[in-house]
């Protein structure tokens, strides 16, 4: 996963253009990804797909012809969606188009101008303070013209048409945690699920932020009723604990699954309520759709100093954090896949487990925990309580409760009913 982040890091992505297509092309080498496109000018609900933006180079030269700001050194040096510019101007004329972070004077900020034609360049505030007065030559070698909005989609059919939606954004340039970590973890989770038996169908979306999810929802409005659970994945490579932002519903099965898994994962975690600000979960949770989609991250967007700056680089993300994030999502998938309701086949008093080989007189803590899980499952298997309900009430890890259910099915003491509503 870290090598994928490293490979994608130099690409200048935006909400449209070759950077997105190059990124999706790399992902297609790893997973069965279908690339979709929508023409510029297409109406998607209250929005319009913008013109396509591409950039070849951008720089500012001083009087000696030296590049004092150079897009080739870092993609954040240009404001995304800057219109073409070729001009000479004084530093006083240039200053309104230069963006810095006075409170973080060594860092380059990330700035965009998607829906308003403008141009700008970004640089460390310390460097701006050192620029002498005089004439400068400015070049932004970009194009803004009719083209397409692209996104990638990987559908892994399961036994059911009901879907689990996993979405991440592919519109940021060289930002590792806020962009590439979500892409990498989603890609490798898709690889694993593609090789495993699946009850649910899994749909992975690699979309430009906001406009991409809106365009996808517009095109797929008739099939969104199949989405039973969903997650937006972002900021999964830094060293902070996990943060889960609940869906608009607040008590959807995906919300309860994340709450349970985080409580038992052994890592620090925080649960936050839904708000209509953040990533694409706000589109999936809009009232017309009201899809059960939460957002899983480590550091929260806008709440860490590296956010949307050049400090969100290859040193900020950690391979072990990516691995832990993937492991957590595996646990979430197991909950969704195995969460069923069961009905007892022996509901009158507690059945005798010993003669069925399900009760050990001696054993370690793990065995006793499994036996306690069997008692809970038998007691609660009235066709209305799911395994997640039981795990939460018993305070036991879901995997232990699921294993207990498998043993009880094998012992012909319970039988599965319909999936939980």
| Residue 295 φ/ψ, nearest 5 degrees | -130, 125
- Contact at 8 Å (CB) between 183 and 317? no
Q: Is 229 annotated as belonging to a binding site?
A: no
Q: Is 172 annotated as belonging to a binding site?
A: yes
Picking from 418, 285, 264, the residue whose alpha carbon sits closest to that of residue 335 is 264
- Contact at 8 Å (CB) between 114 and 80? yes
Q: What b/e string do you get for 229-263 counting C-beta neighbours within 10 Å, with b at 16 or more?
A: bbbbbbbbbbebebbbbbbbbeebbbbbbbbbbbe
Residue 147 to residue 37: CA distance in whole angstroms = 9
Q: Is 148 annotated as belonging to a binding site?
A: no
- Residue 21 tokens read as 């297509």
- Contact at 8 Å (CB) between 62 and 134? yes
Residue with tokens 């809009």: 286
Question: How many CA atoms lie less than 13 Å away from 404 in the CB half-sphere?
Answer: 30
Per-residue CA distances from 46 to 49, 150, 210, 215, 246 (Å): 10, 19, 12, 10, 25
- What is the chain's Cα-based Rg? 25
| Residue 275 φ/ψ, nearest 5 degrees | -140, 150
Binding positions are 172, 178, 308
Binding residues for Zn(2+): 172, 178, 308
């Amino acid at each position: 996963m870290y090598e994928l982040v490293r490979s994608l890091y130099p690409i200048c992505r935006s909400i449209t253009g070759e950077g997105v297509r190059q990124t999706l092309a790399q992902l297609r080498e790893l997973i069965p990804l279908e690339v979709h496109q929508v023409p510029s000018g297409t109406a998607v609900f209250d929005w319009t797909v913008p013109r396509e933006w591409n950039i070849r180079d951008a720089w500012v030269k001083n009087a000696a012809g030296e590049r004092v700001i150079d897009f080739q050194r870092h993609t954040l040096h240009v404001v995304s969606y800057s219109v073409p510019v070729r001009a000479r101007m004084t530093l006083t004329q240039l200053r309104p188009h230069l963006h810095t972070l006075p409170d973080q004077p060594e860092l380059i900020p990330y700035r965009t101008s998607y829906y308003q034609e403008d141009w700008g360049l970004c640089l460390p505030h310390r460097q701006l303070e050192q620029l002498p007065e005089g004439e400068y030559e400015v070049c932004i070698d970009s194009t803004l013209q009719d083209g397409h909005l692209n996104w990638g989609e990987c559908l892994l059919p399961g036994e059911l048409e009901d879907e689990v939606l996993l979405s991440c954004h592919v519109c940021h340039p060289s930002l590792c945690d806020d962009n590439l970590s979500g892409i990498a973890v989603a890609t490798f989770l898709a690889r694993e699920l593609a090789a495993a038996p699946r009850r649910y169908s899994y749909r992975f979306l690699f979309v430009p932020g906001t406009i991409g999810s809106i365009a996808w929802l517009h095109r797929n409005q008739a099939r969104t009723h199949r989405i039973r659970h969903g997650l937006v994945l972002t900021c999964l490579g830094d060293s902070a604990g996990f943060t889960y932002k609940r869906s608009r519903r607040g008590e959807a099965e995906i919300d309860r699954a994340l709450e349970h898994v985080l409580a038992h994962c052994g890592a620090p975690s925080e649960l936050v309520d839904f708000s209509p600000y953040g990533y694409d979960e706000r589109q999936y949770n809009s009232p017309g759709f009201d899809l059960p989609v939460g957002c899983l991250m480590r550091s929260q967007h806008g709440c860490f100093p590296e956010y949307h700056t050049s400090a969100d680089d290859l040193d900020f993300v950690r391979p072990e954090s990516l691995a832990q994030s993937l492991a957590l999502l595996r646990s979430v998938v197991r909950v969704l896949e195995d969460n069923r309701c069961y009905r007892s086949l022996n509901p009158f008093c507690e059945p005798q487990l010993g003669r069925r080989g399900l009760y050990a007189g001696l054993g370690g803590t793990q065995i006793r925990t499994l036996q306690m899980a069997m008692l809970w499952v038998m007691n609660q298997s009235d066709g209305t309580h799911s395994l997640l309900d039981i795990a939460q009430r018993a305070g036991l890890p879901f995997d232990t409760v699921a294993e207990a259910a498998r043993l009880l099915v094998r012992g012909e003491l319970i039988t599965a009913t319909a999936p939980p509503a």
